[in-house]
Structure 1
């Protein structure tokens, strides 16, 4: 395995996950506030599940997203 290639590819994947996830969460929250479903001061439970094919990996992260 080429460690440099692996590291660069992994970082690229994680950056894409972070950027696209943030955009999607922001859009969903704004839409929910605009529609009246949320008031804008809630704490929202959040869960991210990561799986990688070809290896036995399933990693789950649970937290809250605070709106204000």
Structure 2
């Protein structure tokens, strides 16, 4: 195994996930606000799942997204 290649690959994947996830959440909140489906003061439970079938890995990360 090439540790450097592995670490670079992990960082690229995590950056893509972080940037893409943030954009998706921001767009979802903007749509909900525009549709008046939320007030903008809510806190939402959130779950992220990391799955790598080839490694038999599935782990959940629970948290919350606060709008205020």
Give the shorter-chain TM-score range: over 0.9
Counterpart of 1:31 in structure 2 is 31
Counterpart of 1:11 in structure 2 is 11
Segments of 5+ residues of structure 1 without an aligned counterpart are none
Per-residue CA deviations over 1:7-48 (Å, capped at 9, x if unaligned) read: 000100000000000000000001001101010000011110
Segments of 5+ residues of structure 2 without an aligned counterpart are none
Counterpart of 1:41 in structure 2 is 41
For 1:54, what is the secondary structure of its paired residue?
Answer: helix
Dislocated runs of 4+, deviation >4 Å: none
For 1:38, what is the secondary structure of its paired residue?
Answer: coil
Aligned residue pair count: 68
Counterpart of 2:61 in structure 1 is 61
